[in-house]
Amino acid sequence: MFELPIKPGVHAFDHFCAHLDRMLEANSAKEFAELANGAVSYETLARDMRRLGAAFAEIGLGTGDRVLVASKDEGATVKLFLALLRAGMTPVIGDAEVTGPELGELLDVCDPAALYADEAMLANTALGGKLQQSRIIPIREVHDILSNGRDPGDWPALEARPDVALLVLTSGTTSTPKAVELTHENLIAQLAIFKDIYGFDSAVRLLNLLPLHHVDGLIRGPLVALWFGGYFYRQTPFSVQNVPTILKKFGEKSITHFITVPAMLRIVARLGSDARETFTGPDFRFILCSADLLDAALWRHVEETFNTPVVNAYGLSEVVCDALFAGPDDATRRIGSLGRPHGCKADILDDDGRPVPTGETGELVLSGPTVMRGYFNAPELTAGVIRNGAFHTGDYARVGDDGLYDFVGRKKTAIVSAGATIHPESVTIVLTTMPGVAEAVAFGVPDTARGEKLVAAIAPQPGHEITAADAFAICRKHLSAERTPAEFRIMSSLPRGASGKVLMAELTTGTAAPAGLAEEQMEFDSESGSLEDKVCAVAAKCFNVDAASLSADSTPFNTDGWDSLAHMTLIEELELAFDMQFSAAEIASIAALGDAMEFIEGALDTKA
């Protein structure tokens, strides 16, 4: 029986702050984290949080004020996040890769009292008087505060208690995102559930490289580490090239848990085959995978390859992080399942809100202390998903005879790609504003690497020619990388039924005919052209760029669209095109297309 660990008569905010203060004091001699810009001790963290708290007061911020943080500086982001929570303000962590227009959208959605952002981002955003100039703070000024700011020694007593602890930004069903309101009670409940299920304690040492603007990176990173008096590592950014280095950190840093998502786990499984001992050290407990559907084949492969347990968790930002758990205990564990709920109630309901029999499919509805307060400033959206205190997930599930839950599909149009929730409608709006586009639609399709892949179908206006590279460039101008389609299909027209509606089934199954054999969609011809031309042609398709822009010197740093997922797609497409297979070491050492060409040439010579 789950119970909230808050004493009667104690406000959740007071309980939350008292616990943070105890952890900071009790662990002052310990290391808190290793981030991209260095190590942070608990002693330094406590001092820096107080200095930031004093700086918040100096610019007039008060209880409950929302503060948006959008920065690639993870050290500053983590300290701002924790200091804002402790000060009774409401942090909103934005994607560090947002474009100027997207940052403007975020300001509209969360209506912040202050903004902390990178200088480059501020230079490309028209703030239009949305904030006082004194409350638009470049991240470099945060470092000045941390180095030279006033340390008040203690946190001031607050006259009022905040209603909301944290806003979590999620993609909306239109071009505008939503902001999930999470309370201190929500956070305390989730952290207590983590203790019950995962056994988190002061010995916890997390390796979590997930984005900080996602709850999986933010909650199960800095907040979990501080709450339990533990440690988290994210010094080495995740990339294909960095995987060998990252795998060594599990032993070097005595890591206890690897926090990941299926797309990342798939890459580790492919590249880590030469490091099977990675997760077998005396300190390591289990891999925790969430944020997307973990297919049974990958789950089983990882456990067999690395001889370590994988725990699968199901949840959404609207319930903080996790609600259903497959593992680590045997009673909740069945490979391929979502496990069982803990700390909440999980009902499977039909369209009329009635429970369905065991084995039948219905909507998964969650209720309990982790359910969000609502969507900020969006009562109609909130009413659409929260009824009688229960959150309607929009996901279809069923309960098996063993009492474990299985995921069936999504009721909503939202897709989850590499752990990121994306609403294709927002991408469609950007595509339809592109010059020369007659009609366009974005949608998701199943994908081995990502779970689901965002695809865009585009029909040009008569007399206009549009390439995948053109569409990719427009999307990257207006959308973050995770909301940019991984594939563009250029068509003469979108398939429509008698009512005029787009026939999404034809698009998602690939039965709709393209406009023609555009260069980036042609079958690979392995019998003509130089090796460099062939590799560049394959890479152009994977990265959605013009093949003429690529060469042996192309790298992830000078090529748009070349991220870790695209890297693995490139590997798979090259293996298919040249009928060969890269070794794990070769995959990790491909830092430029020229490296791939060299390995391919060697493989072809060996075959000859």
Q: What is the pLDDT of residues 306-336, one digit of tens each?
A: 999 999 999 999 999 999 999 999 999 999 9
Question: pLDDT-derived band of residue 528, with 50, 70 and 90 as boundaries?
Answer: low
In sequence order, which residues have a C-beta less than 8 Å from that of residue 560 and are 6 or more positions away? Answer: 472, 473, 476, 543, 544, 545
Q: Is the pLDDT of residue 385 over 50?
A: yes
Angle between helix axes 564-578 and 262-271 (nearest 10 degrees) is: 50
The alpha carbon of residue 325 and the mean position of all alpha carbons in its chain are separated, in whole angstroms, by 19
Q: What is the pLDDT of residues 348-367, one digit of tens each?
A: 999 999 999 999 999 999 99
Q: What is the pLDDT of residue 520?
A: 38
Please give the C-alpha separations between residue 470 and each of 126, 460, 464, 467, in angstroms, as whole numbers: 25, 12, 12, 5
Please give the C-alpha separations between residue 358 and each of 398, 402, 474, in angstroms, as whole numbers: 7, 10, 48
Residue 287 DSSP SS3: strand
Q: Is the pLDDT of residue 492 over 90?
A: no
pLDDT (average), residues 28-52? 98
Q: Is the pLDDT of residue 429 over 90?
A: no
Of 316-320, 515-519, 542-546, give the range with the top mean pLDDT: 316-320
Q: Is the pLDDT of residue 292 over 90?
A: no
Domains of the chain: residue spans and CATH: 1-185 (3.40.50.12780), 236-368+381-412 (3.40.50.12780), 415-520 (3.30.300.30), 524-607 (1.10.1200.10)
Question: pLDDT-derived band of residue 515, with 50, 70 and 90 as boundaries?
Answer: low
Look at the chain and count its residues. Answer: 608
Stretch among 61-75, 181-195, 480-494 having the lowest mean pLDDT: 480-494
Q: What is the pLDDT of residues 436-484, one digit of tens each?
A: 988 899 999 998 888 899 999 999 987 889 999 999 999 998 898 888 9
Q: What is the pLDDT of residue 497?
A: 62
The tokens describing 160, both together, are: 């009022």
Q: What is the pLDDT of residues 207-261, one digit of tens each?
A: 999 999 999 999 999 999 999 999 999 999 999 999 999 999 999 999 999 999 9
Q: What is the pLDDT of residue 412?
A: 73
Average pLDDT of the residues of the chain: 91
**What is the identity of the amino acid at 269?**
A
Q: Is the pLDDT of residue 137 over 80?
A: yes
Q: What is the pLDDT of residues 168-198, one digit of tens each?
A: 998 643 345 799 999 999 999 999 999 999 9
Rounded Cα gap, residues 29 and 543, in angstroms:
47
